[in-house]
Amino acid sequence: MYAKVTMRRVVIELSGKGLDNVIMNSPFQKVESLEMVHILKWVPGEVAAIIRVKMKDPKTKIEEIFSSEGSAKLDSEILEQDKNGISTYFFKMTNKTPPDAKTAAAMSAMPFIGTPFEIRDGSARVTFLGTAKQIKNQLRAIEKVAKGNGIHYKIISLTDARFPADSPISRLTDRQRKVLITAYKLGYYDFPKKISSEDLAKKLGLVKSTFVAHRRKAERRLLDEMLSEF
């Protein structure tokens, strides 16, 4: 028997002159507001999301905020632009050079980024999803950085992660959800695969056969939910 894994969700708010200095010394000084509406992928070396952005100067291009120069490649496509100057983009940023094993391992130990994730009115609101241990470590890291840079932060909410009742992932057990999300996050479903079943099992503290059983049951349950009408 394995202990039940409960995912936690924390929403924090960052503000203060220290945050202003960070924003004003970066391309984000050109942004009036930025919101990640839907995060499609956030794994070591790759981020893909639907974002809504309002620039202080309407002539500013998104490439000026998320520069494709250096080690990252930017792909973006504007999906909608309203009369208030808010533009909705599909946004994808990929590292040209994959992170080394040490960096990838450190990133994989961090919690997932969730929504709300926004910058507005000189403050930032960020959401993290992870195990109790991951959330605790993340909050310690944020507190250390905040104190060293004059940034104020407060916890808006800290709860068990809840999934909508009509979401297929809500039909999974905690263990199945943990296995499937970790596999996705670490590139198991990428082509070619970035991690093997053996390595995933080790990271989850499972033997390979148990990992495979949980993964297959999770995949089967999701397929049953999505294809039940056919």
Tokens 């994808």 — which residue? Answer: 92
Cis peptide before 116 (omega within 30 of 0): yes
Burial class from Cβ neighbours inside 10 Å (0-12, 13-18, 19+) for residue 6 reads exposed
Which CATH architecture is the domain 163-230 placed in?
Answer: Orthogonal Bundle (1.10)
**pLDDT tens by residue, the chain, 230 residues:** 344 557 788 999 998 877 777 666 677 788 889 999 888 887 777 888 899 999 989 888 888 887 655 567 888 898 998 888 899 999 888 887 766 777 766 776 788 888 889 988 778 899 998 888 889 988 998 888 888 888 888 999 888 876 655 566 767 887 888 888 888 878 888 877 888 899 888 888 889 999 999 998 888 888 877 666 55
pTM higher than 0.85 for the full model?
no
**Structure tokens given for 143:** 């507190």
Residue 200 contacts residue 189 (beta carbons within 8 Å): no
Q: What span, in angstroms and rounded, lies between the C-alpha atoms of 224 and 230?
A: 10
Cis peptide before 164 (omega within 30 of 0): no
Q: What span, in angstroms and rounded, lies between the C-alpha atoms of 206 and 70?
A: 39
Q: How many Cα atoms within 13 Å fall on the side-chain side of residue 14? A: 25
Domain boundaries, the chain: 8-160, 163-230
